[in-house]
Amino acid sequence: MPNFTPSISTKSTRLFSPFLLISIFIVAACSIFYELLVSTVTTYLLGSSILHFSLTIGFFMSFMGLGAYLSRFIKKELLYYFIVIEIILGLAGGASCFLLHSFFAFTDSFYILTFLLVAALGTLVGLELPLLTRIIKSFSNLRETLAKVLAFDYLGALLASILFPIIFLPFLGTMRTAFVIGLINLLIASVSILLLGKQILHAKKLLFFSLLCSGLLIAGLLYSTNLQLFFEKNLYQDEVIYLEQSKYQKIVLTRYKQDIRLYLNNHLQFSSIDEYRYHEPLVHVPLVCNPWIRKVLILGGGDGLAAKELLKNPRIDSIYLVDIDEKVTQLCKNHVLVKQINRGALENPKVKIIHKDAFKFIEETETFFDLIIADLPDPSEPSVAKLYTLEFYMLIKRVLSNKGIFVTQATSPYYAPLAFWCIQRTLQSVFDATLPYHTYVPSFGSWGFILASNSTEIKKRLEQIVTLEVEKYFSKIPTQYIKPPIWSSFFTFPQDMKIEDIDNLTVNNLDKMKLVEYYAQSWRRWNP
């Protein structure tokens, strides 16, 4: 009969048995951390969070199954093989984010190499639990062993799923989190050797390699900021002058000569050299259409640039700015270079900043607004696309004043026409009057907006949009881009920005999120 476990003394058993149960708890947490880290980094680099989280978790669990199957071929020296696996897993898992950034920056085979990394991590994790179960079985009967192993395994997974988004990601970021979790795996290996050194094959060599790998990960942890900046420079090309990971997104500020750019999860939010071409049409078109606007709500817009444009108009009494990420508003309120761009708008006493999910705020507020501006990210993910749904627009309609106007950025009518006209179609199902318009922003290309209202008077003004008193308005409001001669061009769409039949598009709602599909389908033409 094979010798499944080494002979362990009674004294060692008293120490080692509880340690093994704790190890199960910890390695289960570590495995969830690795899944979340790979999913998060691939999402940051490539977008499509649902796709990458689903693929990562699916492949990871499949290879865990492979690892569990392969464990049947390990028939003796279980502790030795468990420690070897912990050392390899600690090094590979700890370096996982470093490797992912390297794959993206320096190779053209990101998906293949990421798949191989997931395969390796999943297989190693899959080997751990069966080996630990068989080792613990030597201390108790099978029924008790399985109950304890599964209980500690599930609890460890729960702990990791809570700690990752609340503590590790916002305070450490992805790369430092990976190094820390890798060190935890190596700590388990080292403690196992110290507890049962004499009874483990090649104990001294294993301890040496465990400490060596720990030293490498500690060095990576100490220099993680420099490593992150190195990869960000390769990713953004321009000088990275600010880098932070919030609980919601990665925030990067870059500079090239006079051009300051803000990126959230690698997506450009504004360029200082042409942001006015985006924000002036977003803000001033509804202000021209409605001379009664006093109270304004901005959803998103944490950079303060929409607020800057609103503050040019003296009739604006108050601005509520709702942005979910406090780190973004703090940066744009306090960073000297961003303050120069938004002219300190976020410090203006007329501006009230609220850190809350836009959907939740609209659900709960009892305040009515004359103008609501949705300056939100593109609807590439369901978490954002919910703010472009029928249900959300119905909530918007509820909190608009009698002559209120709602305006939203609506992606590019040139690059993503299906998405743009889907938003128009969805707004038409809620509001009596809508007005799509577009402009050209060099950093983004052709970009679109849609204005909506249920006021009969506003509807008449929208129908006469070209003949409104544009010259009078812009003679009093300083703008860099919008002037009366170009006003009518905003509302004329060339043929290549149109689609054959808007009525055939599906209204975007919370149940199907068709807009996400339209958005991906449109952009796939440009990024095959």
Query: For 477-501, how does the pLDDT look when each residue is reduced to its tens digit (9 = 90+)?
Result: 999 999 888 998 999 999 999 888 8
Phi (first) and psi of residue 119, to 5 degrees: -60, -45
Task: Please report the pLDDT score of residue 203 as a whole number.
Answer: 85
Task: Please report the pLDDT score of residue 176 as a whole number.
Answer: 94
Q: Is 486 exposed, middle or buried (0-12, 13-18, 19+ CB in 10 A)?
A: exposed
Q: How far apart are CA 195 and CA 83, in angstroms?
A: 12
Least confident of 35-49, 141-155, 220-234: 141-155
CATH placement of domain 10-231: 1.20.1250
Give the domain ranges of the chain: 10-231, 237-269, 274-524
Q: What is the mean pLDDT of residues 336-355?
A: 97
Q: How far apart are CA 418 and CA 416, in angstroms?
A: 6
Task: Please report the pLDDT score of residue 354 as a whole number.
Answer: 97
Q: How far apart are CA 137 and CA 133, in angstroms?
A: 6
Helix (H) or strand (E) holding 194: helix 169-196
Q: What is the mean pLDDT of residues 21-34?
A: 90
From the options 3.40.50.150, 3.30.450.20, 1.10.3720.10, 3.40.50.620, give the CATH code of 274-524.
Answer: 3.40.50.150
- Residue 219, pLDDT above cutoff 60: yes
At 6, is the pLDDT very low, low, confident or very high (cuts 50, 70, 90)?
very low
Task: Please report the pLDDT score of residue 336 as a whole number.
Answer: 96
Task: Please report the pLDDT score of residue 115 as a whole number.
Answer: 94
Strand duo 239-245 + 250-256: pairing:
antiparallel
Helix (H) or strand (E) holding 263: strand 259-264
525 or 253: which carries more pLDDT confidence? 253
Q: What is the mean pLDDT of residues 240-258?
A: 89
Q: How far apart are CA 524 and CA 528, in angstroms?
A: 5
CA distances 185 to 97, 205, 239, Å, are: 16, 17, 35
Q: What is the mean pLDDT of residues 269-292?
A: 95
Percentage above 90 pLDDT, the chain: 63
Q: Which two tokens stand for residue 10?
A: 């009674």
State the alpha helices, DSSP H only, in 436-497: 456-463, 470-476
Q: Is 338 exposed, middle or buried (0-12, 13-18, 19+ CB in 10 A)?
A: buried
15 or 299: which carries more pLDDT confidence? 299
Per-residue exposure over 48-78, b if at least 16 CB sit within 10 Å of its own CB, e if not: ebeebbebbbebbeebbeebbeebeebeebb
- Residue 269, pLDDT above cutoff 60: yes
CA distances 451 to 3, 232, 337, 454, 458, Å, are: 75, 37, 31, 11, 11
* Cβ-contact 342, 302 below 8 angstroms: no
Least confident of 111-115, 144-148, 246-250, 502-506: 144-148
Q: Which residues are catalytic?
A: 375
Phi (first) and psi of residue 107, to 5 degrees: -135, 165
Distance of CA 400 to the CA centre of its chain: 30
Q: How far apart are CA 401 and CA 360, in angstroms?
A: 19
Q: How far apart are CA 483 and CA 236, in angstroms?
A: 34
Q: How far apart are CA 196 and CA 382, in angstroms?
A: 51
At 347, is the pLDDT very low, low, confident or very high (cuts 50, 70, 90)?
very high
Q: How far apart are CA 176 and CA 185, in angstroms?
A: 15
- Residue 318, pLDDT above cutoff 80: yes
In 10 A of CB 10, how many CB atoms?
6
Mean pLDDT (the chain, rounded): 89
Q: What is the mean pLDDT of residues 460-466?
A: 72
Residue pointed to by tokens 């881009």: 481
Task: Please report the pLDDT score of residue 469 as a whole number.
Answer: 76
Q: How far apart are CA 73 and CA 94, in angstroms?
A: 27
* Cβ-contact 339, 315 below 8 angstroms: no
Task: Please report the pLDDT score of residue 4 as a whole number.
Answer: 41
